[in-house]
Amino acid sequence: MAEIVTPKSKGKVKVFDTEEDLAVSLAKYAADLSNQISQERGSFTVVLSGGSLVKSLRKLLEQPYIDSVDWSKWHVFWVDERVVPKDHPDSNYLLAYNEFLSKVPIPTGNVYAINDALSADGAADDYETCLKHLVKTKTIDQSQISGFPKFDLMLMGMGPDGHIASLFPGHPLVQENKKWVASINDSPKPPPERISFTLPVINSSANIALVVAGAGKATAVHVALSDVSNSEVLPVQLVEPEGELSWFLDKGAASKL
């Protein structure tokens, strides 16, 4: 593993020889935060993306973590979700359930999937209402700086175009700065109807891990982590959390650094 030195705002960058090594380190990182924060706060709020990130969590399902992590403290959310039924192959919930959630003893009441009976607008409003309730009851922390919810850990992937969550390059949703959760009906990546946490919510996080593997994402990684000026700012370049940003890259993703 190599660490790349970047300006502080760009976060800590770890580069692994293989995605397997990346997954091992990611599990330790998440388990350490879980132990520390669960003890401090009595709960641990974790936000997942969809896509390739979910597979990279597989080492948490093995020893020592499967037994050492206090899964009862986990509260799980989605940084974005496709507006499809929960049993649809495009559902980020279904992916996480099949690959991860069905294999760990997180109480079902602590898993906050979107209401799949609603339209995209309705589902975004409903999810935001749910978050507001959980901030009120102090399950989710609140940023003293921004007033937005402050999640303990966001585990996020990035698309080859530099999108994060369902915030796509050049899309007006990237500019949304009032809503906590917003809908999108014209996602350039299918399916078109989705909901997404907004950038201020993402950036209020205590910890963000950006998990990126594969040479197909090397250009966006290069743009995000170097000082090249590009005409269009990629959503991933706007990730600057209140807390810590950590990049987990494999060699392919880091090949243009």
Binding site for ligand LXAUTJHC (CB under 6 A): 49-53, 80, 92, 156-157, 159, 166, 189
Nearest residue by C-beta to ligand LXAUTJHC? 51
Minimum Å gap between C-beta 94 and ligand LXAUTJHC is 12
Minimum Å gap between C-beta 118 and ligand LXAUTJHC is 18
How are beta strands 153-156 and 207-212 bridged, if at all?
A: parallel
Closer by beta carbon to ligand LXAUTJHC, 149 or else 162: 162
Closer by beta carbon to ligand LXAUTJHC, 164 or else 225: 164
CA-CA-CA-CA torsion sign (25, 141, 46, 108): positive
Minimum Å gap between C-beta 39 and ligand LXAUTJHC is 29
The length of the chain in residues reads: 257
Q: What are the tokens at 34?
A: 């879980």
Q: Is 158 helix (H, G, I), strand (E, B) or coil?
A: coil
Backbone angles phi, psi at 15, to 5 degrees: -120, 125
Minimum Å gap between C-beta 174 and ligand LXAUTJHC is 14
Distance CA 253, CA 250 (A): 5
Distance CA 247, CA 209 (A): 6
